[in-house]
Amino acid sequence: MRFIPAEPDIATVFRRISDGDIDLQPDFQRGEVWPTAKKQRLVDSILRGWVVPPVLLISGGHGQPQQVLDGQQRLASIRDFMLNEFSIDGRIEPLDQSIESLHGIRFSSLPLGVQREFLRTPVRMYEITDYRPEEPAEIFFRLNQPTGLTPAEKRNAFFGPVRDQIREIVAQFEDATTNQRSMLGFTNGRMAYDDVFARFACTLEFGTLRNKVTASAVNAMYRRSNPLRDEVMSRLESAVHCALQVMGRVGDDTETPRLNKATFYSWLLFFARLTATGDLNKVAQFFLFFETVRLGIGPNVRTGSPDFVRMHGSGQHSTLPLMPLYSDRASSRVADVSSVVLRDFALWACWFEFTSGTGAICSDPAYRRIGEFWQRDENAASDQYERSTLEFIENIAWGAEF
């Protein structure tokens, strides 16, 4: 990895930003988050002639724009000041008489001499070239540790094929859900979608639910130079497509349950293991009934339907005792192996009852033993029910193959 130094003045930097030669919003960066007060402090530092930390740029190569690795907020602040989006704060300590006299003035109204001096201020920059995929990310991590970046935001600084594959899936998902009701109770503001899809892809790579998807495991997947296997991408895309189809079929006139990251991840696992999606309307109906019953019966659920009766427990077997177990493992210990496996089993056990064992089946070989679960004594106390359920899951090795 090489660092090529340069010291263009602010006028040059502003022109390059305006021309698109410097990209302030590459896809690994978070949004522009500095408040006005912090932007004013940067301008104050420049006016005082104080040293401003250098900016790191990733070489675009082949005439492509340079991407800002570190210094995005500083460059955006300079740009915004020159676009008159905020004024100078002359009351910043330690007080400086010359700056106090400029209090409340925007860039275009500054005395010509002050403007010239500001525009001539050099900005120290380093262009990073000849790097390995993981090297820019390591610099990004070390420089941004105090800023509280999410794991997904840190991971997205890896310049490798896996990052690009996940980003493409996220972009397609966001495009497809722009104008429809979402079944998610969270946004992608801190790259939450990226995090769920990355962890889902890691599970597909493991080929089992029995390996814990740790941050280090996902990071290792992002660090490598080879992309996700075709089989993994195919299953990932198929599961996301099924999720989108289900969301579309739930409909705008329905009180749609909202999923958190843990339950969305579990539903992706469910969609990925359907041997055939078959009747997507049936799958969408199952999603709606399962989540509605679990979270509380809504006004738009037809409680007289045979499917609802079966889900609510008035049929041959009651699925209701599984709901608290699922919910508990979706709000605490959400990422440990036992929670992931239990949530997955609960979905499939309820699907078995919902379809009377005639719907699309799970690719897990243990699915053929689901019927045994419903033949057990269902009258045990709640703590005994949880223990016996976990014992059954372990006995049939649920999730050992994915």
Identify the CA nearest to 85 among candidates 36, 125, 122, 130: 36
What is the predicted pLDDT for the residue at 309?
47
Residues 306 and 175 in one domain: yes
Mean confidence (pLDDT) of the chain: 85
Full domain range(s) for residue 337: 152-395
Any idea of the CA torsion for 282, 287, 288, 293, to the nearest 10 degrees? 120
Cα gap 217→138, rounded to integer Å: 16
> Does 342 map to a domain?
yes
> Does 137 map to a domain?
no
> Which range, of 48-57, 239-248, 321-330, averages the lowest pLDDT?
321-330
Q: What is the pTM of this model?
A: 0.65
> Does 228 map to a domain?
yes
Residues 215 and 246 in one domain: yes
Residues 10 and 75 in one domain: yes
**pLDDT band for position 235 (cuts 50, 70, 90):** very high
Q: What is the pLDDT of residues 286-314, one digit of tens each?
A: 898 888 888 774 444 454 555 444 444 43
Cα angle 243-249-255, degrees, rounded to a multiple of 5: 100
**pLDDT band for position 317 (cuts 50, 70, 90):** low
Residues 169 and 40 in one domain: no
> Does 91 map to a domain?
yes
What is the predicted pLDDT for the residue at 314?
39
The pLDDT of 342-358, averaged and rounded, is 88
Cα gap 138→58, rounded to integer Å: 13
Give the DSSP letter string of 133-175: THHHHHHHHHHHGGGT--HHHHHTT--SHHHHHHHHHHHHHHH
In three-state secondary structure terms, 22 is strand
Q: Which one of 131, 164, 188 terminates a domain?
A: 131
> Does 379 map to a domain?
yes
Q: What are the beta bridge partners of residue 184? A: 259
Encoded tokens for 115: 């403007």
Q: How many CA atoms lie within 13 A of 88 on its CB side?
A: 26
Buried b (16+ CB within 10 A) or exposed e, 357-388: eebbbbebebbeebeebeeeeeeeeeeebbee
Residues 275 and 337 in one domain: yes
> Does 56 map to a domain?
yes
Residues 157 and 195 in one domain: yes
**Model confidence at 2: pLDDT above 50:** yes
Q: What is the pLDDT of residues 387-402, one digit of tens each?
A: 889 999 999 999 999 8
Residues 81 and 198 in one domain: no
> Does 27 map to a domain?
yes
Residues 309 and 170 in one domain: yes
Q: Which one of 97, 131, 165 terminates a domain?
A: 131
DSSP category for residue 65? P
Residues 195 and 335 in one domain: yes
Amino acid code (one letter) for 402: F
Q: What are the beta bridge partners of residue 129? A: 2
Encoded tokens for 307: 């499917």
Position with higher pLDDT, 255 vs 228? 228
The pLDDT of 259-272, averaged and rounded, is 94
Residues 364 and 312 in one domain: yes
Angle, in degrees to the nearest 10, between helices 261-272 and 230-250: 110
Residues 112 and 159 in one domain: no
Question: How many domains does the chain contain in total?
Answer: 2
> Does 140 map to a domain?
no
Cα gap 14→75, rounded to integer Å: 8
> Which range, of 24-28, 185-189, 280-284, 342-346, averages the lowest pLDDT?
24-28
Encoded tokens for 320: 């209701």
Residues 298 and 173 in one domain: yes
Contacts of 345 (CB under 8 A, 6+ apart): 389, 393, 398, 399
